[in-house]
Amino acid sequence: MRFCGISLYAVHVGEIGAMHIGLLGTMAQLYLSDLREKTWRGQLGKALQGKLPGGKAYGYDVVAPGTGERRINALEARIVGRIFREFADGSSPRAIAKRLNLESIPGPEGRPWGGTTIRGQADRGTGILNNALYAGCLEWNRCSYIKDPRIGKRVARPNPRSKWEIVEIPDLRIVDDNLWARVKARRQEVRLEIGRNGEGNALNRAHRRRYLLSGLLVCGCCGGGYTIVGPDR
């Protein structure tokens, strides 16, 4: 703006100069940090009371907005139980999702079912099969979120188990301990099978190669990211 000869004014301080930018910027950052800490403490208080500080998980209804209180949705709870039983009996998440879609059963928020919706990520506790709430246990603070300065988006980082807050909520249990244990055991078996070859040796995990401009090139028309699809294009 200075290069273009434009001056910036604020109602309460008049013309904005370099000193205002430094001081007000610092004060704004301190305010955001304090607000983040207060929000976290408020969520912690709800979690310790057995209330859900986050969003609504599939299988539950909100009792009163803002209170963190939930109740079991009987129709969705039957679907959750079915998913757990079919996976424990040997079905893959993708096959389960395909059957649910063929039966026109709506997924979370009315969207179609996908394999990742059911499978999720074990480290972050996402996905139907990883949500301990279905076993009557609230696991809070599993992840911390920090903004990546390169892309401007928040990135989840799993916290060590010592930082988790675990609260028993038997009123919200949908699956019993035996079924929960069977699902966990099969997930571990599948994880080991995927990570080893036919001789039982650990496979070298495949990593996407990163190039000099990886993640930086975007289309000037639609804003979509560029992806290398071949050695020459």
Tally Cβ neighbours within 10 Å of residue 145: 9
- pTM of the full structure: 0.65
Rounded to a whole number of angstroms, the distance between the first and last alpha carbons of the chain is 39
In a domain, 205, yes or no: no
Print the domain residue range for 185: 50-194
In a domain, 219, yes or no: no
Residue among 53, 184, 195 nearest 125 (CA): 184
Overall number of domains in the chain: 1
In a domain, 34, yes or no: no
pLDDT at 7 over 80: yes
In a domain, 13, yes or no: no
Sign of the alpha-carbon torsion through 31, 33, 36, 42: negative
Where residue 182 sits, what CATH number does that domain have?
3.90.1750.20
In a domain, 12, yes or no: no
What pLDDT, on a 0 to 100 scale, did the predictor assign at position 122?
77
How does DSSP classify residue 222? Answer: T
Q: Which backbone phi and psi does 3 adopt, to 5 degrees?
A: -60, -35
Give the chain's radius of gyration (CA, Å). 24
pLDDT tens string 81-98: 999 999 999 899 999 999
pLDDT at 205 over 60: no
In a domain, 64, yes or no: yes
In a domain, 81, yes or no: yes
In a domain, 74, yes or no: yes
pLDDT tens string 136-189: 888 878 888 888 888 888 888 888 888 888 888 888 899 999 999 999 998 888
